Chains A and B, each alone.
Chain A
Amino acid sequence: MSKLNNKQNNKNSPAEEVTRRDFLRKAGAYSAASLTGAAMLLSPKPARATKNVTWAEHFQKNYRLMTDEEKKEAIDRLVKRYSEEFGKTVTVDDAPAMDGVLFGYALNIQKCIGCRRCVKACVAENNQSRGDKQQIEWIRVMRLEKGKFSEKDRDDGGYPQDFGIQVGGNAYKPAGVVLEGQHYYEADKVPEKDAFYLPMQCMQCEKPPCVKVCPVRTTYRDPDGIVVIDYNWCIGCRMCIGACPYWARRFNWGEPDLPAEEMNPKTHYLGNRPRMKGVVEKCTFCVQRTRKGRWTGCVEVCPVGARKLGNLLDPESDVRKILATKKVFRLRADLNTYPKFFYFMD
């Protein structure tokens, strides 16, 4: 595997060819040598993905500002590193947004049965960290309880009486983990009788608050409407996590745990390539698939066809037809984020 692109890249990884002392001396010569750089050398059990990061990768530019040649170099570096780390041929795609395409998504909450196959397919497709230590999921399926009303509750239940107002019935229900629903449900069988489901993920807002607050512009909206992140430029300040009203962004608190045999080798630079610790990630509408004209993992796996993806600029696309004919709403429309993720009912 290490033969891949060896010619171009052996310059960038001095550790391979020079003695340890030489390496340390050279490393010391970087006066801007970062603390993590130091930690990298000293750490008793260095984490896999960080260990092999070359200085060239460490000091590369923001992806959007790279020339085509620099992009190619950066991608070659990644291909080499990933292939070595995971022991298989990994590809890193750099497909830009297609012309004339603006991605939109529509989810039929009437059909969704809360099986969470989308969640699992997403994790398998997008190389999220998994396991007990750090499990990252980009989709959350909220279970919303249907209201329960009983005669007994008319006078006893309801809004706390101490404040002198009585909403009555059970319009007020003691919130569970989450106010309006919760995403930790464990049902024996879905769909449950007394609940319906509302999956949430990144809404790919047209006016994304996360992009606005990013101090280093590592997250940005591509022309096809997908909000992407250059994981190599992210400083981990988590402003975007604070600003996102949909709780869609996830942080790699520790080194991601991605078993080599489960790693999906078809990756995109801005999408599902393996991440490193200390950076933010989120749903990209499977940019590695959709820019090649394929469905996202979640659309493909949904057993009831509740999930639809399409080109908002194409009047014949599924999504446009749904927008034209169904009753559609978006979450938190009051915030003017203009999500391109629509919910609808038949």
Chain B
Amino acid sequence: MFWGWMLFLAFFIMLWGYGEYVQLANGMIVTGLNDQVSWGFYLANFVFMVGVAAAAVTVVFPAYVYKHQELHKIVVLGEMLAIAAVVMCLLFVTAHMGRPDRLWHIFPVIGIFNWPNAMLTWDVLVLTGYLALNIIGGFYYLYKKYTGKPVNKLFYLSVVYIAIVWALSIHTVTAFLINTMPARPMWFHSMMPIKFITTAFAAGPSLIIIVFLLVRKFTPMKIADEAFHILSQIVVWCLGIALFLTLSEIVTELYPSTEHSMGLKYLMFGHHGLNALVPFFWTAMALMIGSFILLLIPRVRKNLLLLPFICLAVFVGIYIEKGMGLMIPGVIPTPIGEFAEYTPSNIEFMIVGGVWAIGFFVLTVLIKGAVGIMLGDVRYEEKARRNVQGEQADAVAT
């Protein structure tokens, strides 16, 4: 089962390797991007994954701030999810770059880091910082569990509290990255950061619920029902606020219907027969509104057989909303008003699919290791379980 899953992922990772090779050898010309639509599928996935990474905080926050006992035990799993998500973010950004070989140009000291001017440098700072915090926090905790020594609460809790605030910053800054450009009027509104955060805190916990239900099913680890109830409540409220913000945006744009609302109008209704995004928008809306209404009903929300499917709908809905609903119409029409449609190429699908596979690969390895440690299966003293320890070492290396 485990190896089957890993092999399945490995297949997609190979496709990623092939796609990256073709793109590096020939340039971005192998993508569906062009002068009119120069940002696309890679950045859409990047923005979405930043949200998922930030959402790890929804587990950490109630656990530590409200001393929620049930969530307390699984915080580490949230941290592992954040690590996998940030790794994916970095891979998406690299795929988006025309010259990934010059990535070092952005490193401070050896390159030039245009900070604080360029918003992208802020994003680099907060993302790498967040990755570091989660690696330090998560692996410190696991290491202490592994060696059976007590956790230094002062150190661990400081890391956790900083990470909580930091998580908000990664999605805020990513929103600032695109909403500080008046050349792109669809993005140019101050609601962007809060909308990013609320959609992230709906999509993230949805994924966490699914992952935790799988962990509970396939490993001996116990996760109380109570944990799922708290998470599904977070999903429903954040989803509600996100929908409200979407409504506000639509009314504000469409009522006066200036040229600045052409992007949103193109997304919702198409433009003179160019309507590739229209079905995506309405699908996302249906998924988000439908699952919001369902989750409002306590009996449905607490039904752990039904919940993962609703969570999947939320996750897919927000994924579409961030990609086809935000990133692509943001660059259509162009600043001089030209409409051009964009469809990702097969290479883009290969690379994006492959990065997701890498993400799940990393996540699976990390969670398998973490669960082993937390259940006490893997301990420093036990020599018998060398193979599991080997996996854990892999996880640390990742």
Please name all residues of chain B whose beta carbon is closer than 8 Å to the beta carbon of A239 when the two chains form the complex.
Answer: 118-120
B1-30 near A? 1/0 per residue, CB < 8 Å:
000000000000000000011001111111
A236-272 near B? 1/0 per residue, CB < 8 Å:
1111011111110011111100000000000000000
Please name all residues of chain A whose beta carbon is closer than 8 Å to the beta carbon of B383 when the two chains form the complex.
Answer: none
Query: CB < 8 Å: which of A37, A134, A177, A237 contacts B98?
Result: A237
User: Bound state CA distance, A32 and B105, in angstroms?
Assistant: 12
Residue of B nearest to A238 (CB): B38
User: Bound state CA distance, A175 and B24, in angstroms?
Assistant: 38
User: Bound state CA distance, A36 and B118, in angstroms?
Assistant: 25
Q: Does A178 contact B (CB under 8 A)?
A: yes
Q: Does B102 contact A (CB under 8 A)?
A: yes
**Contact yes or no, B102 A234, CB < 8 A:** yes
B259-289 near A? 1/0 per residue, CB < 8 Å:
1001000000000100000000000000000
**Contact yes or no, B39 A238, CB < 8 A:** yes
User: Bound state CA distance, A252 and B97, in angstroms?
Assistant: 12
Residue of A nearest to B271 (CB): A175
**Contact yes or no, A32 B104, CB < 8 A:** yes
User: Bound state CA distance, A17 and B180, in angstroms?
Assistant: 51
In the complex, what's the smallest C-beta–C-beta distance from B253 to chain A, in angstroms? 14
**Contact yes or no, B26 A236, CB < 8 A:** no
Q: Does A156 contact B (CB under 8 A)?
A: no
Q: Does A200 contact B (CB under 8 A)?
A: yes
**Contact yes or no, B100 A179, CB < 8 A:** no
Q: Does A278 contact B (CB under 8 A)?
A: yes
Q: Could you tell me which residues of chain A, from 60 to 115, have a CB within 8 Å of some CB in chain B?
A: 62, 65
**Contact yes or no, B339 A177, CB < 8 A:** yes
With most chain B CB atoms within 10 A of its CB, the pick from A32, A234, A245, A247 is A247
In the complex, what's the smallest C-beta–C-beta distance from A65 to chain B, in angstroms? 8
Please name all residues of chain A whose beta carbon is closer than 8 Å to the beta carbon of B262 when the two chains form the complex.
Answer: 179
B117-138 near A? 1/0 per residue, CB < 8 Å:
1111100100000000000000
**Contact yes or no, A251 B28, CB < 8 A:** yes
Q: Does B233 contact A (CB under 8 A)?
A: no
Residue of B nearest to A236 (CB): B98
B154-186 near A? 1/0 per residue, CB < 8 Å:
000000000000000000000000101111100
Binds A, one of B145-153, B205-213, B296-304, B330-338: B330-338
Residue of A nearest to B255 (CB): A163
**Contact yes or no, A134 B105, CB < 8 A:** no
Q: Does A216 contact B (CB under 8 A)?
A: yes
Q: Does B251 contact A (CB under 8 A)?
A: no
Please name all residues of chain A whose beta carbon is closer than 8 Å to the beta carbon of B184 when the two chains form the complex.
Answer: 242
User: Bound state CA distance, A200 and B21, in angstroms?
Assistant: 37
Query: CB < 8 Å: which of A35, A58, A182 contacts B100?
Result: A35
Q: Does A43 contact B (CB under 8 A)?
A: yes
Query: CB < 8 Å: which of B101, B178, B272, B336 contacts A37?
Result: B101
Q: Does A233 contact B (CB under 8 A)?
A: yes
Binds B, one of A206-214, A303-311, A314-322: A206-214
In the complex, what's the smallest C-beta–C-beta distance from B282 to chain A, in angstroms? 19
Please name all residues of chain B whose beta carbon is closer than 8 Å to the beta carbon of A335 when the two chains form the complex.
Answer: 182-183
Q: Could you tell me which residues of chain B, from 342 to 387, have a CB within 8 Å of some CB in chain A?
A: none
Please name all residues of chain A whose beta carbon is closer than 8 Å to the beta carbon of B98 when the two chains form the complex.
Answer: 234-238, 251-252, 277-280
A215-B124, A277-B98 as given contacts; A236 in contact with B28, CB under 8 Å: yes
Q: Does B195 contact A (CB under 8 A)?
A: no
Residue of B nearest to A137 (CB): B35
Q: Does B113 contact A (CB under 8 A)?
A: yes
Please name all residues of chain A whose beta carbon is closer than 8 Å to the beta carbon of B96 when the two chains form the complex.
Answer: 237-238
Please name all residues of chain B whose beta carbon is closer than 8 Å to the beta carbon of A218 when the two chains form the complex.
Answer: 105, 112
Residue of A nearest to B262 (CB): A179
Q: Does A130 contact B (CB under 8 A)?
A: no
**Contact yes or no, A134 B102, CB < 8 A:** no
A172-184 near B? 1/0 per residue, CB < 8 Å:
0011011110110
Q: Which 10 A-B pairs have the closest CB atoms?
A: A236-B98, A278-B98, A34-B101, A254-B29, A179-B337, A36-B101, A277-B27, A245-B183, A253-B29, A215-B120
Using a CB–CB distance below 8 Å, which chain B residues touch chain A?
Answer: 20-21, 24-31, 33-35, 38-39, 96-106, 111-114, 117-121, 124, 178, 180-184, 257, 259, 262, 272, 331, 333-339
**10 A–B pairs (Cβ distance < 8 Å), ordered by A:** A142-B336, A177-B338, A178-B339, A200-B336, A213-B119, A216-B113, A277-B27, A278-B27, A335-B182, A335-B183
